[in-house]
Amino acid sequence: MIDQVFPDSENCPDCDGFLFRPGPRGGRGRNVECVGCGSRFNVVRFPHERQHKWPIVWAQRIPSEREGGGEWREDMFPRVLE
């Protein structure tokens, strides 16, 4: 997988979407899926004392369902706007 640079706006680097569906998490990482295009990323946020929202410090693209990635259980990670 390739490390991904997220724009400062934290919008999707593929479609500029701003809604993300949360997925499985572990440790500091959280998997998210863009609602607009279905791209998935594993992102890590790190606390910053002057910001109310922790900034993304690392991101990695992960396979979407279309690309052979796993299916996220709907009861745990519901789809939105569909």
Q: For residue 82, is it within any domain?
A: no
Q: For residue 11, is it within any domain?
A: yes
For residue 8, give its domain range. 1-66
Q: For residue 74, is it within any domain?
A: no
How many CA atoms lie less than 13 Å away from 78 in the CB half-sphere? 4
Q: For residue 13, is it within any domain?
A: yes
Q: For residue 80, is it within any domain?
A: no
CA distance 23 to 72: 7
Number of domains composing the chain: 1
pTM tops 0.75: yes
CA distance 72 to 79: 9
Q: For residue 60, is it within any domain?
A: yes
Q: For residue 32, is it within any domain?
A: yes
Q: What is the pLDDT of residues 12-30, one digit of tens each?
A: 999 999 999 989 988 889 9
Average pLDDT over residues 73-78: 74
